[in-house]
Amino acid sequence: MSRDRIHERLGRRNIRTLFVAITSVLIIFGVWFAWEFWTAFPDERTTIITSTNPIEVSSWDTKRQALTIFTISPDVFIDGVFGVGSLPASSLFRLETMDKTKKGLLALSLQDALGTPLFIGDLSPLLRLRFAFILRTVRPDGVTRIDLSSLGAYRSVPLPDGTSVSSFDTNRFDTGVGALLEVDSIRREGLRIRVVNTTDVVGLGNRAARIVSHAGMVVIMVESETPAMKECTITAKQSLWGSKSVSFIKTFFNCSVASGSEDEQAELTVRLGRDYADRFLPP
């Protein structure tokens, strides 16, 4: 066999090998992309800010395949975290863009106002793509649009000069939204929760109670006690450590879990520490 024929056969073999290698890489990438795309939402409910002009917060319930979109007036006053006080929602966003120490100001403030965990930080390209896909493919009867003004979630606050402003009212919002933000698996567990504020930040326990209540847990008492703790702790029977409720509280409040049962009525006791309180104080 001539040398040219040998080189030709080797060339064809190398091309086939290269083709197989490229095809394998593309298949692996495709499988990885599909997995990352469909698991972009690790939680049963994922809530993010999808627009800042106007302000829209979208909450996707994976199990029910339902999307809830809240529209919030940019002029409504909302209690801001980081000790900034009550400001219009649009001002919270502007302040965040101007001051690097207040990163996440709008999302954290809306999280506290709505009483449900929001995605904090920059959205990954896959998360953006997944949400865009949902917006385009979700059934019309799977979308609920709620204007918080129409919901009656604002109250008028008079100013010294005789004018008035609209302010977000958590009690009105909670009444209007009902169980819409529940996580189905948590609601089914129906665990009874005792929330304890160990810090000197007034109202911290009630803030946390709204979060766990909206998720579907049953808050039976909110208390305060000393001394102050640094970190959040959950006290529960070991048989409950694997529950969705414990996982939710542990993740959101950054809690450690301890074994025990301190109250006959409450199945979980959540003690809030300074780490959680710091979210609401100046950096």
Helices 204-215 & 170-177, crossing angle to 10 degrees? 10
- Rounded Cα gap, residues 191 and 243, in angstroms: 9
8 A C-beta contact, residue 184 and residue 61: yes
Which H or E element spans position 230? none
Q: End-to-end alpha-carbon separation of the chain, Å?
A: 79
pLDDT at 21: 67
Tokens of 133: 């896909």
Q: Which pLDDT score is estimated for 239?
A: 92
Distances 236 to 53, 70, 227 between C-alpha atoms, Å: 43, 35, 20
Say how far apart CA 197 and CA 205 lie, in whole Å. Answer: 5
Alpha helices in the chain (DSSP H): 3-38, 89-98, 105-114, 125-137, 148-151, 170-177, 184-189, 204-215, 244-253, 274-277
- What whole-number distance in Å separates Cα of residue 196 and Cα of residue 174? 21
Q: How far apart are the C-alpha atoms of 35 and 202, rounded to whole Å?
A: 44
- What is the C-alpha separation between 208 and 263, in angstroms, rounded? 19
CA atoms in the 13 A half-sphere facing the CB of 60: 22
Q: What is the amino acid identity at position 76?
A: V
Whether this prediction's pTM lies above 0.75 is answered by yes
Q: What pLDDT is attached to residue 126?
A: 73
From 47, 24, 37, select the one nearest 180 (Cα to Cα): 47
CA atoms of 71 and 144, how far apart (whole Å): 11
pLDDT of 162: 87
Q: What is the DSSP string of 76-139?
A: SEEEETTTTEEEEHHHHHHHHHH-GGGTTHHHHHHHHHHTS----SPPPHHHHHHHHHHHHHS-
Written as tens digits, the pLDDT of the chain (283 aa) is 555 554 455 455 666 676 666 676 666 554 544 444 444 555 789 899 988 888 999 999 988 889 999 999 999 999 999 999 999 999 999 999 999 899 999 999 999 999 999 988 777 777 777 777 887 888 889 999 999 999 999 999 998 888 999 999 999 999 999 999 999 999 999 999 999 999 999 999 999 999 999 999 999 999 999 999 999 999 999 999 999 999 999 999 999 999 887 677 899 999 999 999 999 988 7
Cα–Cα distance measured from residue 276 to residue 258, given in angstroms and rounded to the nearest whole number:
18
Quote the tokens at residue 48.
């993010």
Cα separation, 218 vs 62, whole angstroms? 22
